[in-house]
Homo-oligomer: A and B are copies of this chain.
Amino acid sequence: MTQPSHLIWTDVERIRAQAPLIHNITNFVVMNNTANALLALGASPAMVHAPDEVEEFVSISSALVVNIGTLDATFVAGMKLAMRQAKALGKPIVFDPVGVGATTFRNKVSEELLTLAAPDIIRGNASEIMALAGLNAQTKGVDSLYGSEAAVEAARRLSSVWGSVVVISGETDYIIHGDRTAKVANGHPLMTKVTGMGCTATAITGAFSAVNNNYFQAATHAMAVMGIAGELAVAKNPAPGSLQVNFLDTLYRLTEAQFTDTLKLTQS
């Protein structure tokens, strides 16, 4: 497994060298964490949502990350303008349908955004991916009630309809594009006890998509780095407050050797 590991590490080094500007329209809960995760990884984050400026900001950014966690009318207006602009300029779009399936509003907004500008990468938990694919998935707020494997078929359907790479986060992460599948078995269950770890995965996927236009690879690499940094951070102290701190420290200091030794990736 040396080769995929080295391929991933090359992307990490590109991010550290280029510090790509990642434009985030994301939720209030995680803005601070996701900005810090992007900084720790080596990217340059900005949170910009006003309809008055998102189009101009997209044009200077290397990737757009859209996350509907605490959406409202103003943010949705900004998301639409930004996604359309990113599409027009060929900038990668990463979409996180937080809590889709929980309300009609989230379903409607997600459908509108997908139709307006199909994302290059979609990342969610199993419940969200199933709901986004139009399945009658049970959701519990922003948490999933399913293992990630249960959403594989939904992910494949989404990928086929929108052409997107689809990531299902869970104990094993699935990265799906057409009939291709990668699985990352890194990470730790304690990560679900820190708010916004999924949103952080989405944000750093933005950074990988900015340096690697093979979006199947970009998404896979992001999930591998996310899982490994989380896993190593939990090993330092398995408690949620410390995990948040140690996650950033670990991501910032991550070495290729640590990474290679920890990676659990299979592809088909």
Q: Give the interface of A toward B (CB within 8 A).
A: 19, 21, 23, 27-33, 35-36, 39-40, 44-53, 56-57, 60-61, 69-74, 78, 99, 102-106, 140-143, 192-196, 237, 239-242, 244-249, 252-253
Contacts and interface: CB of A to CB of B under 8 A. Distances in A.
Contact of A39 (B36, B40, B46, B195): B195
A28 B47 contact: yes
B45 A195 contact: yes
A192 B44 CA distance: 10
A80 B106 CA distance: 20
A267 to B, nearest CB: 31
Given A40-B240, A74-B72, A53 B196 contact: no
A46 B141 contact: yes
A239 to B, nearest CB: 4
B57 A252 contact: no
A188 B75 CA distance: 35
Contact of A36 (B78, B195, B247): B195
Contacts of A21: 140-141, 143
B237 A241 contact: no
Given A46-B142, A56-B103, A60-B102, A29 B29 contact: no
Contacts of A44: 140-143
Contact of A35 (B56, B195, B249): B195
Contact of A239 (B33, B47, B103, B248): B248
A157 to B, nearest CB: 25
5 interchain residue pairs of minimum CB distance: A241-B248, A239-B249, A53-B105, A46-B141, A35-B195
